[in-house]
């Protein structure tokens, strides 16, 4: 980049391959502000690790970026929740089928067999090796449960001193939770992992539901208007065709079932913050903890704000996003995706 614009950031993107993860991979792979060192996969919203990994491989193939290494990661959370609760997203899909019928086949479909393979290295080792080979240069961006990151910090004690920064999608402070009234899915799905990660003392930007899955952030959400804009500005690259084909159902689901004006772009926002932190207003660096033992409150994010009588807390290294320049973000998203040009 030239001038005072955003810098080129080297990132590792850790995903669980839900809809916005797919857009995040496509966004990171083509953004001139990102050097995507690799994509690591984690069991989460899209189901088992094989599905998650296959989706990433297929997405990168579509983007023409099979050169970007994909490393398969955690097959289960550290502790997790009851089996019935962990399968809630599947039950959710059944409810959706009743409403959307055949159209739902485009929502998180079983991934076809990819044309290329993940690298022969566990995601945890990929993260450790990549970071340790370039101390202070790599930003870890996680848009799913934080199991891989936690395992990496647990396995390599020196990792925390060598990561440049983390951008994490998770938690909620003002907006109600999306998996329980108090908790956000990524944190809840592996609450112990999130707590390990947020206690490392690494400079962190935390992207809660407040700035993506809340109509206060409406301008950042993907709508049919945005799909129409992409139609006008972009050539007929397979990536654009896929987005036009796949994402109307996502927009409809989030509009009808979550009362949001469009499809929330959580994961893409999280990637964009890695190179342009000015997209969001943030708190001062503070300590953010996770509730582990509460039943109703399990997975709740707790920001240490204000002043309290009891001692406590931890490393004050997490800045929590409180507002977003949604218009500027969506413009950035569309301009970036438009860089996919038909060969």
Partner 1 sequence: MTTLANSETRPTPIILDCDPGHDDAIALVMAHRSKAIDLLGVTVTCGNAELDKCVSNALRILEFIGAGDVPVAAGCYRPLARPLVLGTADGPSGLEGSPYLPMATKTVEPMHAVDFIAKTLREQDEPLRIVATGPLCNMGLFVLKYPELLSKIKDITWMGGVFYRKSEIITPTEFNAFCDPEALKIVLDSGVKLTMVGLDVTMQVLVEEPQYAEFRKIDTELGRVVNDWLLFYEKLHRNSMGVGGALHDPLALALIIDPTLVRTRPAHIGVDLAGTYAFGATVADFWKERGLPDNAEICTEVDADRFFELLYSLLRD
Closer to partner 1 at the Cβ: 80 or 171?
80
Q: Which stretch binds partner 1 (CB under 8 A): 10-18, 147-155, 164-172, 227-235?
A: 147-155
Q: How far apart are the C-alpha atoms of 221 and 205, rounded to whole Å?
A: 20
Q: Which stretch binds partner 1 (CB under 8 A): 18-26, 33-41, 58-66, 151-159?
A: 151-159
Q: Which of 12, 62, 111, 151 binds partner 1 (CB under 8 A)?
A: 151
Minimum separation from the CB atom of position 49 to partner 1 (A) = 9
x/- track of binding to partner 1 for residues 117-136 (CB under 8 A): -----x-xx-----------
Minimum separation from the CB atom of position 297 to partner 1 (A) = 12
Give me the count of residues in the chain: 343
Residue count, binding to partner 1 (CB under 8 A): 19
Minimum separation from the CB atom of position 295 to partner 1 (A) = 9
Q: How far apart are the C-alpha atoms of 93 and 99, rounded to whole Å?
A: 10
Q: How far apart are the C-alpha atoms of 49 and 184, rounded to whole Å?
A: 20
- 174-203 residues in contact with partner 1 (CB under 8 A) are 192, 195-196
Task: Rule CB under 8 A: say whether 155 interacts with partner 1.
Answer: yes
Which class for 192: exposed (0-12), middle (13-18), buried (19 or more C-beta within 10 A)?
Answer: middle
Task: Rule CB under 8 A: say whether 137 interacts with partner 1.
Answer: no
Closer to partner 1 at the Cβ: 284 or 293?
293
Task: Rule CB under 8 A: say whether 146 interacts with partner 1.
Answer: no
Output the CA torsion sign for 319, 321, 324, 330: positive
- 56-95 residues in contact with partner 1 (CB under 8 A) are 74-76, 78-79
User: For 158, which DSSP code?
Assistant: G
Contacting residues for 327 by C-beta, under 8 A, at least 6 apart: 219
User: Is the CB of residue 39 less than 8 Å from the CB of residue 25?
Assistant: yes
Task: Rule CB under 8 A: say whether 293 interacts with partner 1.
Answer: yes
* Closest by Cα among 199, 197, 183, 192 to 79: 192
Minimum separation from the CB atom of position 303 to partner 1 (A) = 21
Q: How far apart are the C-alpha atoms of 31 and 44, rounded to whole Å?
A: 25
- The residue whose two tokens read 């450790």 is 128
Q: How far apart are the C-alpha atoms of 226 and 232, rounded to whole Å?
A: 10
User: Is the CB of residue 15 less than 8 Å from the CB of residue 270?
Assistant: no
Task: Rule CB under 8 A: say whether 292 interacts with partner 1.
Answer: yes
Task: Rule CB under 8 A: say whether 157 interacts with partner 1.
Answer: yes
**Which residue ranges make up the site for partner 1 (CB under 8 A)?**
74-76, 78-79, 122, 124-125, 147, 151, 154-157, 192, 195-196, 292-293
């Amino acid at each position: 980049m030239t001038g005072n614009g955003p810098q080129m950031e080297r990132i590792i993107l850790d995903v669980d391959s839900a809809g916005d993860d797919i857009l995040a991979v496509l966004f990171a792979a083509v953004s001139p502000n990102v050097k995507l060192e690799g994509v690591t996969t984690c069991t989460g919203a899209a189901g088992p690790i094989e599905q998650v990994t296959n989706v990433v491989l297929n997405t990168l193939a579509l983007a023409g970026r099979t050169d970007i290494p994909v490393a398969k990661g955690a097959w289960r959370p550290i502790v997790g929740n009851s089996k019935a609760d962990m399968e809630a997203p599947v039950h959710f899909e059944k409810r959706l089928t009743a409403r959307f019928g055949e159209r739902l086949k485009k929502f998180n479909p079983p991934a076809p067999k990819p044309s290329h393979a993940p690298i022969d290295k566990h995601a945890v080792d990929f993260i450790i090796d990549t970071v340790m080979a370039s101390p202070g240069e790599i930003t870890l961006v996680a848009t799913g449960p934080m199991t891989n990151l936690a395992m990496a910090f647990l396995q390599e004690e020196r990792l925390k001193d060598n990561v440049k920064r983390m951008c994490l999608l998770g938690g909620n402070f003002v907006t109600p939770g999306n998996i329980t009234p108090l908790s956000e899915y990524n944190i809840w799905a592996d609450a112990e992992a999130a707590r390990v990660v947020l206690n490392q003392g690494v400079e962190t930007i935390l992207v809660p539901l407040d700035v993506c899955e809340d109509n206060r952030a409406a301008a950042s959400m993907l709508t049919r208007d945005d799909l129409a804009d992409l139609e006008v500005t972009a050539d007929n690259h397979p990536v654009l065709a896929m987005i036009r084909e796949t994402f109307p159902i996502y927009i409809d689901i989030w509009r009808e079932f979550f009362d949001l004006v469009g499809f929330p772009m959580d994961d893409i926002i999280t990637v964009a913050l890695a190179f342009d932190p000015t997209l969001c207003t943030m708190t001062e660096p503070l300590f953010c903890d996770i509730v582990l033992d509460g039943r109703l409150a399990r997975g709740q994010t707790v920001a240490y704000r204000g002043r309290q009588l009891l001692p406590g807390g931890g490393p004050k290294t997490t800045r929590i996003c409180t507002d977003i320049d949604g218009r500027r973000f969506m413009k950035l998203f569309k301009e970036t995706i438009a860089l996919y040009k038909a060969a």
